Amino acid sequence: MAVYWRADRLLRPRTVLPIRPIRADDGWCDDVSHRRYNRPVQLPFAAGHETMRRTDGLYDIVVELDWNRTPAVRGRGSAIFLHLAKPGFPPTQGCVAVSLETMRLILPHLRPSTRFIVRHP
């Protein structure tokens, strides 16, 4: 589990988890056929990927929840992030989203041993 944040937008969040600022060239590979699948990558990146430095603010703070990481199994799904929610809390594309206030409240309590159980209603 690791935390990434937009240092250009927010102060460093309080957490004991590994943390680093999101750089302009940070991405996340979501191409199941690529050897870097479900891993951080440096942009530009030719295979399918997400840009971590989003303009919409959803990734201003991101907790990578270690889903399907060690080892990454193709077809088991890409990373599940805990990230900031859009106004009105519409569904995400497979992640968990919370308000900035909730993120700031729970981050100091997360530990590397913390386990999330994600259930779809």
- The 3 state secondary structure assigned to 21-59 is ECCCCEEEECCCCCCCCCCEEECCCCCCEEECCCCCCCC
Angle (CA) 109 97 93, round 5°: 140
Find out whether the peptide bond into 71 is cis, omega within 30 degrees of 0. yes
What is the structure's pLDDT at 121?
A: 63
What is the pLDDT at residue 69? 72
Confidence of residue 37 (pLDDT cuts 50, 70, 90): confident
How far is residue 105's CA from residue 121's CA, in Å, rounded to a whole number? 24
In a domain, 116, yes or no: no
- d(CA 71, CA 58) in angstroms, rounded, equals 27
Residue 16 in domain: yes
Question: Can you give the pLDDT at residue 24?
Answer: 97
Q: How many domains does the chain have?
A: 1
List the single range of 18-22, 48-52, 73-77, 102-106 with lowest mean pLDDT: 73-77
Write out the residue range of the structural domain in which residue 34 sits: 2-109
Structure tokens at 100: 């900035």
pLDDT band at 120 (very low <50, low <70, confident <90, very high): low
> Does a structural domain hold residue 114?
no
Q: What is the model's pTM?
A: 0.90
Residue 35 vs residue 49, higher pLDDT? 49
pLDDT at 52 over 90: yes
The answer to the question of residue 117 being in a domain is: no
88 occurs within a structural domain: yes
46 in any annotated domain: yes
Residue 55 lies in a domain: yes
